[in-house]
């Protein structure tokens, strides 16, 4: 069992982000039950290829194991996590309690999220909390790092040491809204940004040049492994704000091996993102084991760990 007085602490992701290194993260979901074997095996395939593994917190409002617990399990297996924390299910008391617990257990990277609406998930009659949203959660984390709670009451034993990031959607249809929210997150303390799935790299370039560049925060472009034309069409239909171009769907539809073609497309997108921003956030639902091959195709060398 992990000694909570002397927890294992990884800071490779923070050090790489602050030094300007090209960042690679990957998303892994906690199990829907209590068996963590598959999650661990998928995350283990990413060792040495990503700076950190992002653990989702009730993504799409679907019930899964606690992101905090799953992050600690990865940490115990020598894998640096980025623990997602969503505001949907907890009030500010619960959020602060989890963040203190995360710090005590050696978790340092936090992705602050508002959370998907309850109605889109598998418990549509559950009650959403949303006491805070992502900007106010970032402000809360900054206060906790300074050694005070949300009411500015000092902690008796010092502050947390959390490296907080946020989500961004460069393809948002509201450019002014995108800029305003991005700047509010920077002001609230976001140290890095992971984007939603990117399908239009011209728009990403515009976002980087007009909005992100002056703030000098690492942006990780979301790269999604498309497994088939059917998979791409499903995403276009069911995921708001995503528009996978028809030429990519046609490539997948005519390929002898659609999965292999999807890996090539993802690798090409990694190469495009590398020219525009400081990193990529890889998403390969249920096939995280293919991410190292995609990175090889893209010419991304293994990462170095310095804690």
pLDDT in tens, 108-131: 999 999 999 999 999 999 999 999
Give the three-state DSSP class for 72.
helix
CA-to-CA distance for 216 and 265, rounded, in angstroms? Answer: 28
Tell me which of 78 and 242 has the higher pLDDT: 78
Any domain includes 137: yes
Statement: residue 239 has pLDDT above 90:
no
Kindly give the pairing relationship between strand 219-224 and strand 163-168. unpaired
Any domain includes 2: no
| Residues paired with 299 in a beta bridge | none
* Residue 156: exposure state from Cβ atoms within 10 A (0-12, 13-18, ≥19): exposed
pTM above 0.85, yes or no: yes
Residue 171 is predicted with a pLDDT of 94
CA-to-CA distance for 160 and 183, rounded, in angstroms? Answer: 24
Task: Tell me how many helices (H) and strands (E) the chain has.
Answer: 11, 8
Residue 3 is predicted with a pLDDT of 46
Q: Which domain holds residue 38?
A: 11-298
150-171 pLDDT per residue, tens: 999 999 999 999 999 999 999 9
How many domains is the chain partitioned into structurally? 1
What is the domain-level CATH number for residue 85?
3.20.20.220
Residue 5 is predicted with a pLDDT of 62
Residue 2 is predicted with a pLDDT of 43
Any domain includes 304: no
């Amino acid at each position: 069992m992990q000694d909570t007085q002397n927890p294992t602490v990884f800071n490779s992701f923070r050090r790489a982000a602050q030094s300007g290194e090209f960042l690679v993260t990957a998303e892994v979901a906690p199990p829907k039950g209590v068996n963590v074997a598959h999650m661990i095996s998928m995350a283990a395939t990413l060792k040495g290829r990503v700076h950190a593994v992002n653990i989702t917190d009730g993504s799409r409002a679907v019930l899964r194991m606690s992101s905090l617990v799953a992050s600690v399990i990865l940490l115990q297996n020598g894998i640096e996590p980025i623990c997602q924390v969503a505001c949907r299910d907890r009030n500010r008391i619960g959020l602060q309690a989890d963040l203190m617990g995360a710090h005590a257990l050696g978790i340092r990277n936090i992705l602050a999220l508002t959370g998907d609406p309850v109605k889109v998930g598998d418990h549509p009659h559950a009650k959403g909390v949303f006491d805070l949203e992502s900007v106010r959660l970032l402000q809360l984390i900054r206060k906790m790092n300074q050694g005070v709670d949300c009411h500015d009451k000092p902690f008796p034993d010092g502050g947390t040491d959390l490296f907080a990031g946020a989500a961004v959607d460069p393809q948002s249809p509201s450019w002014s809204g995108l800029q305003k929210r991005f700047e509010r997150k920077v002001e609230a303390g976001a140290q890095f940004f992971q984007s939603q799935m990117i399908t239009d790299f011209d728009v990403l370039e515009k976002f980087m040049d007009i909005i992100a560049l002056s703030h000098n925060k690492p942006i990780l472009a979301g790269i999604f492994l498309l497994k088939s034309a059917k998979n791409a069409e499903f995403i276009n239909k069911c995921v708001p704000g995503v528009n996978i171009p028809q030429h990519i769907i046609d490539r997948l539809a005519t390929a002898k091996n659609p999965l292999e073609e999807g890996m090539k497309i993802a690798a090409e997108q990694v190469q495009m993102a590398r020219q525009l921003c400081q990193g990529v956030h890889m998403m390969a639902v249920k096939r995280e084991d293919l991410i190292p091959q995609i990175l090889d195709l893209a010419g991304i060398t293994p990462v170095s760990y310095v804690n």
